[in-house]
Structure 1
Amino acid sequence: MSSITEKNADDGRSTRWEEHRTARRLELALAARKAVHIYGTDISMDVIANYAGTSKSIVYRYFVDKTGLQTAVAEAVMQQIHEALHGAAQRAATPKEALHAMVDSYLEMIEHSPNVYYFITRDAPGLPLLDSMNEVVALPFAHEMKVPQADAAAWAAGAVGFVRGTGEWWLTYIGQPQHPTRAELAESITTWLWNGPVKQLARSKTTRITSP
């Protein structure tokens, strides 16, 4: 009986420690995100630790290295993007409006903090931030337009890459004369995507894309 009680106590302590570690890790990742937003992508781990009110050794204890920290920040940002895109799609009255809302939400995110965006993409090659957006973008269209999931997924992969490339071009030249506003670019991207493959998918709902 004593051994069972001790085991349960150990399990309870282990669970509480894991919960504490997860919460602390998220807390540090969010602090790092704010620090990057303020100080830029070249920020050192010392500055991040100081901004978080802790030591660099504590940061390394939770993330091992800077890439690990970038991954954690990317996960937090991705969660926000998921929520924003899902919310945008749910509030829209039509699939086209959902597309526009999702594009605008994405552009708003990168416009708000280019430093954070580049910290988790350009400065950390291989992080699957944008790849994980594919499913978020594809699901509403697979449901609303009744197209095969494979077709929607293929389109979403191309659409996310297109939006990412266009968005990064926009960030590079933002503020220059005759450069489109976020609203103008969101409208253009929506039109380009909608009048291209999306419209075709809507017309041929049962056509499947097969690999050669």
Structure 2
Amino acid sequence: MSHVTPGSSTTAPPIPLPGDVTDGRSARWADHREARRAELVRVARKCVHQRGADVSMEEIAAAAGTSKSIVYRYFTDKTGLQRAVAEAVVTQIRDALAEALAAAATPRDGLRAMVGVYLEMIESSPRVYFFVTREGSLEPSSPLGHFLDAVTELVAAPFARALTDAGSEPTPEDRELAETWAAGAVGFVRGAGERWLRSQGTPAAVPREVLTAQVAAWLWAGPVGVLARGRGT
């Protein structure tokens, strides 16, 4: 007969079923795999930053202290690894752009802040930037495709805010124009930024601050500025 001490419950703790043990081990294994995968992405990003986009899987595996077969187990091939690195990079850029926009005092300041943050981040590691944006990564389901859609929404925000600050709510036509302009603006900023990166070290290169001011001014002087001025902003 079991002994029950005074004040204790007579209900015994549940005995884990075999399935519970298996589930716990599976969860721990999944956590381990996710942590290991994140570490491999970090190492790959560092290797690309130091050696360029043509760094081999063997070099990445060596830097991670593992074998090439283990890297392939997590990413299948170099394209899979490229997508994983792209996901980490574009998430970081997108979050930084959102923070810059949220901290801006005016719509125009927000636009300029986002242009400045974008140029600063791609300048910090051109090799990584070109690695994650190289051909084949722009399909709608790719990390970069999702990133461009998200950034288009962010860039459209100052447009809508300018109209609201002018005392009127944006109409459906305004919103459509904002999205169309923003999609073009994202492509414009990306093209200008990539050309600027490639010009580094040549007489054509300009300081980042100068390009930031130029690009922001050109964008604001376009449809955003025209419509905002028409509403009295």
What TM bracket, shorter-length normalisation?
A: 0.7 to 0.9
Identity %: 55
Pick one of 148, 159, 164 that aligns with 1:131.
Answer: 148
- Aligned mates of 1:28, 1:123 — CA distance in 2: 22
Checking the alignment, whether the CA contact within 8 Å between 1:70 and 1:124 is kept in structure 2 is no
Q: Distance in 2 between the 1:15 and 1:94 partners? A: 46
1:183 matches 2:209: yes
Q: What letter matches 1:131 in structure 2?
A: L
> For residues 34 and 75 of structure 2, what CA distance do their matches in structure 1 show?
11
Q: Where does the alignment leave 5 or more consecutive residues of structure 2 unmatched?
A: 1-13, 165-169
Contact 2:162 2:228 in 1 (8 A): no
**Residue 164 (structure 1) aligned to one of 178, 190, 208:** 190
Q: Distance in 2 between matches of 1:143 and 1:6?
A: 57
Question: Is the 2:44–2:85 Cα contact (8 Å) retained in structure 1?
Answer: yes
Q: Is the 8 A contact 1:41 1:123 kept in 2?
A: no
Tell me which moved more, 189-198 or 138-147. Answer: 138-147
Instruction: Indicate yes or no: 2:23 matched with 1:5.
Output: no
State whether structure 2 residue 71 is matched by structure 1 residue 59: yes
Is the CA contact (8 Å cut-off) linking 1:163 and 1:189 kept in structure 2? yes
Aligned residue among 190, 196, 209 for 2:222: 196
Identify which of 83, 89, 104 aligns with 1:77.
Answer: 89
More divergent stretch after superposition (125-134 vs 168-177): 125-134
- C-alpha contact 2:86 2:132 (8 A) present in aligned 1: yes
TM-score by length of 1: 0.86
Show CA shifts across 1:3-33 (max 9, x none): 9722222222222222222222111111100
* Deviation by residue 1:147-167 (Cα, 9 ceiling, x = unmatched): 354443322211111101011
Q: TM-score, normalised by structure 2?
A: 0.79
Q: What is aligned with 1:31?
A: 43
Structure 1 unmatched runs, 5+? 206-212
Aligned CA-pair RMSD: 2.3
Length, aligned pairs only: 204
Runs of 4+ in 1 over 6 A off after TM superposition: none
Q: Tell me the alpha carbon deviations over residues 103-128 of structure 1, each in whole angstroms, 9 at most, x when there is no partner.
A: 11111111111100111112544344
